[in-house]
Structure 1
């Protein structure tokens, strides 16, 4: 279980996240939904210890993150919102590096690397440097690196961006399987169809505030006779009516 307890994040006068209270249960896929700048990456960065909150606390299985940071970080697989990291390493060097950091033994690491690189169709290019890859190939490299340790919590920031249809399908199936085993998957997206397909529950963020937490069925029941996109835009976005052929 992951608990965000009255979490806020300030950058000077700017509030990136305001009084977030949220609980993620074991065995669920939870989707953070929102426009760019809504607070999705800030929330993920706080859980992964990239940044620290201005106020509030985060607990993972009852342990406070600020007091048990190293222990909790080893329970988390993290895919950032940009795959442009460690560009001078080969994919294989990067994967071995992460396996070492997480304490994965050599044989287990080799088996997982071989299996995942074959699944994501990157095995034949694993000894090339990451900077030579396309965006999609870099994304696959980062995803494989995150999954090698196979920890309980997967934290994925826009993980499907740049993936080809097969890789996207395979990752979504892996997310489902991971949650079915009693683990937790937290991911961010602004693609509503992906959230509808994958999520047990969602949280909608708008300008740093959580404005809805629940299932998509619960959301739809609150707004009968409206499609999901319309509901989302009314809650989190700004609708602009465009009339073709009329003067401004």
Structure 2
């Protein structure tokens, strides 16, 4: 579904991402772990086409982000670390706007809006302007907007930040359901316990370089993900 080949992104002479290669397969939840400034957000923004990159290639469903960005963007969704939504719209207007962009039928958008808004307990707030939403409510709306067009690939940057425990639990259910139906998810998180329990595969990045990746159980072995991460962070620190 997503193939990152030798991705390099520079800021002047500093390499925020350095020769990164990863592959996220259909049906997999892939966790992306690293300290602040490790290159996670830069990688994710490169994948979704927000940031140009200096070297390498990104393929989504065998389409090149460099040469066919529109085809790539049609089949994926992105939830940023800080949901920057159109605050002059109401919640339902925003969801309809997203559904229009992705050409979701009236029947499908209504059914999906009801399903996800009811699940995340946002239905009663959809008529309110987004400017009146709390951070957690905006995060829920961003989640709904990502799922409403049933993308093949969902990219998430710290998706659990701002969500209450119940909403976090429901989002994990939605993520698993999406991948069990053949989709794929690539997401960054600092919540290592969640990543350990939820992810099929994990990659750990340090100073822009991939230090380990693979099946979650193979990466952590008999330890916890926290132990593995801290040990890798301390190596050559």
TM class by shorter chain equals: over 0.9
Per the alignment, residue 243 of structure 1 pairs with none
Residues 1:236 and 2:223 are matched in the alignment: no
Q: Give the Cα separation in 1 of the matches to 2:220 and 2:159.
A: 25
Contact 2:61 2:72 in 1 (8 A): no
Within 5 Å, which residues of 2 pair with 1:62-211? 62-211=62-211
1:9-34 CA-to-partner distances (Å, cap 9, x unmatched) read 01112211000111111111100001
Mark the structure with the bigger radius of gyration.
Answer: 1
Q: Give the Cα separation in 2 of the matches to 1:228 and 1:107.
A: 42
Q: Report the Cα offset of residue 86 of structure 1.
A: 1.2
Q: Give the Cα separation in 1 of the matches to 2:82 and 2:220.
A: 32
1:153-199 CA-to-partner distances (Å, cap 9, x unmatched) read 11111111111111111110111111112211111101110111110
Q: Report the Cα offset of residue 239 of structure 1.
A: 11
Per the alignment, residue 54 of structure 1 pairs with 54
Contact 2:155 2:187 in 1 (8 A): yes
1:34-54 CA-to-partner distances (Å, cap 9, x unmatched) read 111111111111111011111
Q: Report the Cα offset of residue 237 of structure 1.
A: 5.2
Contact 1:35 1:237 in 2 (8 A): no
What runs of 5+ residues in structure 1 fail to find an aligned partner? 241-248
Q: CA RMSD in A?
A: 1.7
Deviates more, 1:58-67 or 1:150-159: 58-67
* TM-score w.r.t. length of structure 2: 0.95
Count of matched residue positions in the alignment of Structure 1 and Structure 2: 237
SS at match of 2:178: helix
Q: Report the Cα offset of residue 134 of structure 1.
A: 1.0
1:71-123 CA-to-partner distances (Å, cap 9, x unmatched) read 11010011111013212211111101100000101221112112211111011
Per the alignment, residue 16 of structure 1 pairs with 16
Deviation above 2 Å: which 4+ runs of structure 1? 236-240
1:125-178 CA-to-partner distances (Å, cap 9, x unmatched) read 111111211111110011111111011111111111111111111110111111
Contact 1:91 1:128 in 2 (8 A): yes
Q: Give the Cα separation in 2 of the matches to 1:53 and 1:239.
A: 27
